[in-house]
Chains A and B, each alone.
Chain A
């Protein structure tokens, strides 16, 4: 029999439907009498709307309705889920984010009008016939310039473009440490703006049942319950029992499908108005100007060291781009998910950081795979590398001198977190061995003989995952608790249906979670089904992001299974006329200790639902348990990544020759899936370091608005990867798991840039901003030659 338990590389049960074209994504769904929407979007970054003339458009063939902001006067704006306070304790500026632009557009792509017609083509035709009179305003695009007094102001009610000015850490102690330092390394760097680009563009279908007053939203979401809560309570005022949100198969998310988007509210509301389903699917060019973007930090960082290379203090200040409006998670990305990670894997005793969040006339920026932690890792691992070169200490050795040691856990960092466990040196050693770190010089010489510049780079990352302990994030400003829910429903014949609040959009939960449950219950893996994505079926859960599904969602499942076993033991004890304390459960069988009496799990299940021989006075019938699991702490995956690159000095082209990742994810349920998650993260991280960037011109036009200019990593841009793991089990969740979804994207960008800078070390290059495109590398080479 195939091995399907915890720790086995079980092939995914999802795959058959995806491989045979039977996946069901939102755009694959068509409802009876469905109308189609087209959204008119702003062509300008910043403009006032003088008038919208929809008369001609309304007469076009097939047009059902045309809506503008006045039609949404009863609706709220798109809400932000996180609150951040300024240094002085006052709340951040949180201007309204209207469903459709109210008198002003604030980024290219800002929705202005909603056109609904019998066909998509007709809706698009009519959209072109709407006449909108704009007066263009000076835009605020560059963050630094946007904070200057003479900048155009995007939200008049705010008065400036500052969203918040926030700090973390002990400023005075940090300054004192810098004054006494033997050496200070300073670095300016940019964490480039990215577009998540899941391959499935966003889509939404609104439906309304006038006989029940029930709305249904089919949407491309990572967290349907959160959408139901935000849209129902804050935007459309639909009570939750009258609103079903269903996210069927979703073609990737990477963060961009966490947030509540205006299009979801538009489709739901319009379906209610028109009493018929309304469907919208984004074109890719529309995704580029309406999906939340990621990253976009500008940072100055300083590291103070003593004469032995011991880190004494770290300080940094960062401008974080929020875009034109606050997206659902946006304020927490540069703050709670970034500044709190600035200790990295190191014992840096004092840290201080300042974050200014800035509004600009660009698409809203929010969490993208890693979210804050890649930015933190990048600045730490770059400044440490520069310090190593300045002090002439091997970069691996410098890191080693500063690692938090295994006997120091639990370890309180100076930036608000408590790391539960880890062994950073062991992971570094394993990675250096696997990457043949010591053999680099020979490879470099061999490359030089071929006319190539070879460089090696490493990065030691840490992340806070398993988002998030509600008491911690509540104190930080989250407006919801980030627990997770699971119902484990044992069916009368012993098969099991698991309802989870986690959402799978590529992660393989249907497989992994079934491995956990079947392993714990000792039943056939195929007897366990996982249900997710539908608020009509699953209790109120929080969804999938922040590498939380196994650590939080898996823990909720674990707890529910424990409860099921506990109740089943009582039933078994009754059936076998034994004391419950004598019942042992093993391999799907309940046994009376010290006897040969046994009863199968299935028999107990049937008894629970056909309770003829049953302790009804002590125990309710049925065998179904629900748990809401709120984690005690974040989890802290960590690892070392080592890569080698070769640069063609004639063209500046960087080729990744090898990439090794050693990760500590704690215990692992399905190593095949974990490796796949790492591979995908690495591709996105290497993409950020070498290929991807979202560029606006000075007028706020998006220059990278399609795959013609936004460089997605392709198969021939990447090498095969080498990955392995070390294990220190998480101490505070029952499976000992940490999560693996984001690590690859967090650890890899500094490893690549460190390698590129290393390759250019003979050219007087100390830093190169991402992405290290051929032209940029060539320019550095030219300057270095000069």
Chain B
């Protein structure tokens, strides 16, 4: 069965026709938001993390129909109106080399922003624990932790 859903996608209204059983991540990717990635099939890697109504979720473990009427932010939605065309957290990841191959990065950034929304000044332990649902194979997390710390500081200063 196909249904039509309406939701806010990165600040603009979107209408999509989706199958009842379609995963949100697939719908987003088919719609062109290919910054949201798929890295596993057991809901663990976090490459697909987006925000739904301001909270971070794994879009591989939600149905597209479940965002009907909701507000969705993906990595592509962070840049609008930002200095250097990037959100402070994105800038911090670049400055601290918090990414290598870039595949886990969108989910990592979305997760990190959700952390700072909850805790504006997280310490290293809190950052590491918060990111347990985001797997990175490249960086060893060292620079991600540094980036999130600095990104939090920049978000506080905005």
Q: Which A residues are closer than 8 A to B by beta carbons?
A: 11-12, 14-25, 27-28, 197-201, 249-252, 254, 283-285, 505-508, 672-673, 675-676, 679-684, 706-708, 712-716, 718, 720-721, 744
Contact = CB atoms under 8 A, between A and B. Distances in A.
B58 to A, nearest CB: 13
Contacts of B140: 679-684, 713, 718, 721, 744
28 contacts: A11-B97, A15-B93, A15-B102, A199-B37, A199-B47, A199-B135, A200-B39, A249-B102, A250-B101, A251-B103, A252-B101, A252-B138, A506-B102, A506-B138, A672-B97, A675-B97, A680-B100, A680-B137, A680-B139, A682-B140, A683-B139, A684-B137, A707-B135, A708-B44, A715-B129, A716-B129, A718-B141, A720-B142
Interface stretch (B1-9, B28-36, B62-70): B28-36
Interface in B114-158: 124-125, 127-129, 131-132, 134-145
Contacts of A706: 40-42, 44
Contacts of A682: 140
Contacts of A252: 100-101, 103, 137-138
B148 to A, nearest CB: 9
Given A25-B37, A198-B101, A284-B41, 15 more contacts: A12-B97, A19-B75, A19-B102, A20-B75, A23-B35, A199-B39, A199-B135, A200-B37, A200-B39, A285-B42, A505-B101, A683-B137, A715-B128, A716-B125, A718-B128
B102 A18 contact: yes
Given A15-B94, A27-B38, A199-B45, A716 B137 contact: no
Interface of B: 29, 33-42, 44-45, 47, 74-76, 78-79, 85-86, 90, 93-95, 97, 99-106, 109, 124-125, 127-129, 131-132, 134-145
A536 to B, nearest CB: 23
Contacts of A17: 102
Q: Which of A199, A676, A706 has the most CB of B within 10 A?
A: A199
Q: Which of B97, B102, B129, B139 has the most CB of A within 10 A?
A: B102
B45 A20 contact: no
Contacts of B36: 21
Contacts of A200: 37, 39, 101, 103
Main secondary structure of the interface of B (DSSP, over half): loop
Contacts of B144: 715
A28 B79 CA distance: 20
Main secondary structure of the interface of A (DSSP, over half): loop
B93 A199 contact: no
A19 B105 CA distance: 6
B90 A19 contact: yes
B48 to A, nearest CB: 11
A529 to B, nearest CB: 18
Contacts of B35: 20-23
A285 B40 CA distance: 7
A283 B127 CA distance: 29
B101 A285 contact: no
Top 10 A-B pairs ranked by shortest CB distance? A21-B35, A18-B102, A251-B103, A506-B101, A683-B140, A506-B100, A679-B140, A21-B75, A28-B34, A284-B40
Contacts of A676: 97, 100, 138-139, 143
B92 to A, nearest CB: 10
Q: Which of B33, B45, B94, B140 has the most CB of A within 10 A?
A: B140
Contact of A714 (B95, B109, B124, B135): B135
A19 B40 CA distance: 20
B88 to A, nearest CB: 12
Contacts of B103: 23, 25, 198-200, 251-252
B97 A673 contact: yes
A692 to B, nearest CB: 11
